[in-house]
Structure 1
Amino acid sequence: MKHFIYILCLGFLVFGCSKSTVDDANPDGENPDGSGNEGTKGSVALYFPQENMLCNQGTNLTPTESTVYFEWRANASDNYKITIENLSTGNIIERETNKDIIPIVIQRATAYKWFVESTKAGVTLKSETWQFYNAGPGVQSYAPFPATIVAPNMAESIPTTSSVTLQWAGSDVDDDIVGYDVYFGTNPEPALFSSDLSVTELNVTVASGNYYWKIITKDGLENTSDSGVQQFKVL
């Protein structure tokens, strides 16, 4: 009897530590624990690795690489294409599968963003884009994620105006962002315009022409991240 109870408990532990796919009790891909984004009919909902979180559930192959299981929720599809970008190098990994979970080898102690495209009967749907950090050995602090540009959009043309509000969003797995530096101007390599901002928007004076800007995000341990240069045009 004790032996039977031991086996039963072990079974609960194995299944409790794994990430299951959609089951009959949850056919729409909604996550009752609130993790992941909810799947709706005709959508692709990312599930794991979770947004703006530290991923420490991979299988460590070497001190620099680990295998992470990427998982999402979607209605039946002929094909899925997953795209993963290394936010430090810009290197992109693309894989195709007919399942909603796939193991992929990625760098440890590295920030990534990823999304999934689902194709069925010639119709392609795209998920949101999520960022995450893949945990690394001995890392005590992680740099902030590169700021997400909210507005203006890249290469956007703006009707004639005298001012534009630059907007962005910042996130950090350590939750210790202390400020933002804004680089802005008409040079493709913009100079520092405003530093140590505690807000995530800035109003700038403009005239007709092309403008370039980027955000440097800083945390309490002097780690930084670079959004990359964005461009917009005032007509």
Structure 2
Amino acid sequence: MIRNIIGLSIAVLLVSCGGDDGPPPAPKGAALVFPEENSECTTGTDISETSTQVTFRWIASDNTESYTLSVVNLDTNVPQNISTTSTSASLNITKGTPYAWSVTSRNSASDQVASSATWLFYNAGSQTTYTPFPAQLVNPLSGSTVQKDIANEVLLEWSGADVDNDIESFEVLFSDTDPPTTSVGITNASTMEIPVGVESGTVYYWRVITTDLEGNTSDSGVFDFKVL
């Protein structure tokens, strides 16, 4: 009887020692290196009169087997994606054009992915002055549902950048129709938020037009959100 009890105890101990080790570690987000954030990329290899080949580089991230590089033409919003196990990849992109790029880290042992920061840059062209990067709409997130404050307002927030560092103003267009055409305010280069009046149960649309000292403008594109 005692022998049976001892045998059973050992079996239970072995099972507990060989139990679940938990989920595999999730990949970490990569740190971007080049092209640098809010910069003009001048090191591409000429492919034609209109395009250059640019090599994107980042730092290896933990628990990662492969990476997906995503490069988005901000004039057309068309992305180019390429997968690699390396920490660099080359793509042919259009000269004189603003781009956003980011890297997604993946591991086949995990169902989770990790995204890097998103950096903006201009691929060098023949121009000597550059249009501002389209404003990046930060809050509210597009498609989100938000709570208005006690003053029946929601705070719109964005970020802006320019290679020439000569942004003059941001104009916010906001309405309950798409696309929004009602201007609710113009802010200076250092002010990237504005409160707007809202009503519950309504979907709103907003966009930001950035203007620099040369008169160049860029359009953020339209975001929408619903108010509880």
Sort the TM-score into its range (normalised by shorter chain): 0.7 to 0.9
Task: Indicate conservation of the 8 Å contact 1:217/1:225, yes or no.
Answer: yes
Cα distance in 2 for residues equivalent to 1:109 and 1:91: 16
1:56-135 → structure 2 map (5 Å cutoff)? 56-75=42-61, 77-120=64-107, 121-122=109-110, 123-135=112-124
Report the 3-state secondary structure (helix = DSSP H, G, I; strand = E; otherwise coil) of the residue aligned with 1:217: strand
- Which segments of structure 1 move beyond 3 Å, counting only runs of 4 or more? none
Partner in structure 2 of residue 214 of structure 1 = 207
How far does residue 124 in structure 1 lie from its aligned partner after superposition?
Answer: 2.1
Partner in structure 2 of residue 204 of structure 1 = 196
Cα distance in 2 for residues equivalent to 1:42 and 1:168: 26
How big is each residue's C-alpha offset from its partner over 1:214-234, in whole Å with a ceiling of 9 and x where there is no partner?
Answer: 000000111111000111111
Q: Which moved more, 1:67-76 or 1:174-183?
A: 67-76
Amino acid at match of 2:124: A
Amino acid at match of 1:201: E
Partner in structure 1 of residue 154 of structure 2 = 164
Amino acid at match of 2:113: T
Task: Indicate conservation of the 8 Å contact 2:136/2:158, yes or no.
Answer: yes
How far does residue 43 in structure 1 lie from its aligned partner after superposition?
Answer: 3.1
Report the 3-state secondary structure (helix = DSSP H, G, I; strand = E; otherwise coil) of the residue aligned with 1:146: coil
Counterpart pick for 1:151 among 111, 129, 139: 139
Partner in structure 2 of residue 136 of structure 1 = 125
Gaps in structure 1 of 5+ consecutive residues: 1-40
Amino acid at match of 2:28: G
Task: Indicate conservation of the 8 Å contact 2:105/2:115, yes or no.
Answer: yes
Report the 3-state secondary structure (helix = DSSP H, G, I; strand = E; otherwise coil) of the residue aligned with 2:113: strand
Partner in structure 1 of residue 13 of structure 2 = none
Q: TM-score by structure 2 length?
A: 0.81
Amino acid at match of 2:40: L
Task: Indicate conservation of the 8 Å contact 1:42/1:74, yes or no.
Answer: no
Task: Indicate conservation of the 8 Å contact 2:68/2:83, yes or no.
Answer: yes
How far does residue 150 in structure 1 lie from its aligned partner after superposition?
Answer: 1.7
How big is each residue's C-alpha offset from its partner over 1:119-152, in whole Å with a ceiling of 9 and x where there is no partner?
Answer: 1233422111111110002x11110001011211
Gaps in structure 2 of 5+ consecutive residues: 1-26
Cα distance in 2 for residues equivalent to 1:159 and 1:200: 20
> Does 1:176 pair with 2:166?
yes
Q: Which moved more, 1:102-111 or 1:118-127?
A: 118-127
Q: TM-score by structure 1 length?
A: 0.79
> Does 1:231 pair with 2:224?
yes
Give the number of the structure with larger relative contact order, counting CA–CA contacts within 8 Å between residues 6 or more apart. 2
Aligned pair count?
A: 194
* Backbone CA RMSD of aligned residues: 1.5
Cα distance in 1 for residues equivalent to 2:121 and 2:68: 19
Q: Highest Rg: 1 or 2?
A: 2
Task: Indicate conservation of the 8 Å contact 2:184/2:196, yes or no.
Answer: no
